[in-house]
Chains A and B, each alone.
Chain A
């Protein structure tokens, strides 16, 4: 069995099927890109796996255990961490304190949690901001802080929901390098990005969602040539151009 598997995962919102019978496998040590146009169901898929939504059908297995319907906190304890597309910083806590909240999961004593959080700040290059109120940080730093916070829970799998949206090209470079470094250190990563150009050089494997269904699951090179994928993205581009006149 793979590290993480979903079998026929389905989530509906009223009449809308946001995730339709998704079969997904994640091997240990992989770096998988999950892409798809707006509203394809990527975030919903994350929410189903990490316990924020209860899937209507299908099951989620992590390390061979059925974790379907577990609460988010239990999923996190089991070893799956995530970030949010819309950053959820603890605004009136400092950067260090934000990360300590994550660190407390495996280090109940404050001194140990602090030490671990400081180490995480070091690896994510946030040490110089440790005592700054997190709410006032620019978006790029808050995204990085969210990553650091998730890392502090010492996960086995990390789900990143658009960790690079809203960053400028220089910041994207930095973020890509960091994700690659984490992966090289042994973390299994699923990366949602709206934009193919970010995912292609980074991921070993790319899964494409469209209208809640998996329409491709292959190496980046082959996915990029897949006519269905091109169609999904072209469709979106046409729609956007039509919208923007």
Chain B
């Protein structure tokens, strides 16, 4: 994947996988594989899994923009997912508005919510920011749980539209179209991240993540750039929300505004590696099958044994690989600092 190398230039030396042509070649092969996937693996279980992996790649990539590049650990991203899902679903249910238009409306609503949440909370740092985003997320969850007009705690069953046409964003005969739709969405997230990484905003975000004061001293308006990143992230997340609603055809506050959802978006990105394009994708490819298989093997008995295992795995991963899976590759490609100058004592004359 591209992002293993440092942004924007050909590394002068390094392991073979950091060469640009290797990365592009690998990317193209992967893309061909992804395009053929539904036909290579026609089993519904795998198809569903692939759809979920792509959806979570999208969500992880979206979270990564503000959480990874910008370093602002949001635990309230379910708000944007839920707003995306609810906006398109309400529009469809009440006024028969096409989910595609609903998706755009949902993205707009989520963008506004991102500004409303970001404006007060971006002055906070570390745990204060994380807790504040949890609080914001809970406010939305409670409001939607009690908003009878929007289905209350029960939620919304989406009206079924037969005919399996792309304009309807609903497919009952085969799930393959869902696969391609979410693939395009995930690729959109990759493209957005790729462009961001190379733009001024991408540099500014990484700078303010490392040190806000230093960034400001270099003329970076940090709040503005955090808000930009938050809005982009929210829009992509909301798109994922609409997709989810159309795919599952049922939404409720407890599924689309859940704190667990926010946490898993973050987890996908963290697991793969923060602030990289490959990270969230790898994270989704590892985490989602892991969750699905444990569910299949252990979930049958009811109860939630698979979640016990899932929780345990999360603990183990954070203890043993806190830098994420991409960190494993990173460690070996990072250029070593020069030995040239002798390192003087940090104090010295001072």
Contacts and interface: CB of A to CB of B under 8 A. Distances in A.
A89 B217 CA distance: 12
20 contacts: A51-B216, A71-B221, A73-B221, A82-B217, A84-B213, A90-B214, A93-B206, A101-B220, A105-B218, A105-B219, A110-B198, A110-B199, A110-B203, A131-B11, A136-B337, A137-B338, A165-B349, A165-B350, A166-B348, A167-B344
Interface string A164-180: 11111001100000000
B38 to A, nearest CB: 37
B335 interface: yes
B266 interface: no
Contact of A77 (B214, B219, B275, B344): B219
B222 to A, nearest CB: 7
A211 interface: no
Contacts of A165: 348-350
Given A73-B219, A93-B210, A133-B335, 18 more contacts: A71-B221, A72-B216, A73-B216, A88-B211, A90-B207, A101-B215, A101-B220, A102-B219, A114-B8, A129-B338, A131-B11, A138-B344, A139-B343, A139-B346, A150-B218, A166-B344, A166-B345, A168-B348
A108 interface: yes
Contacts of A189: none
A153 B12 contact: no
A71 B198 contact: no
A50 interface: yes
B213 A88 contact: yes
A183 interface: no
B162 interface: no
B217 A194 contact: no
B7 interface: yes
Interface string A71-90: 11100110001101000111
B7 A166 contact: no
Interface string A47-88: 000111000000000000000000111001100011010001
Taking each of B6, B206, B220, B350, which has the highest tally of chain A beta carbons within 10 Å of its own beta carbon? B350
B209 to A, nearest CB: 8
Contacts of B12: 131
A238 B229 CA distance: 54
Contacts of B347: 166
Contacts of B199: 110
B207 A140 contact: no
Contacts of B243: none
Contacts of B174: none
Interface residues of A, number: 56
B342 interface: yes
Which residue among A92, A105, A132, A162 has the maximum number of chain B CB atoms within 10 Å of its CB?
A92
Contacts of B222: 73
Nearest to A107: B200
A89 B210 CA distance: 8
A76 B211 contact: no
Contacts of B342: 138, 168
Contacts of A91: 210
B204 interface: yes
A171 B341 contact: yes
A81 B217 contact: yes
Given A131-B335, A133-B334, A139-B343, A108 B11 contact: no
Contact of B7 (A52, A97, A171): A97
A199 to B, nearest CB: 12
Interface in A84-133: 84, 88-94, 97-98, 100-102, 104-105, 108-110, 113-114, 128-129, 131-133
A24 interface: no
Contacts of B221: 71, 73
A137 B335 CA distance: 11
Given A88-B211, A140-B341, A153-B219, A101 B336 contact: no
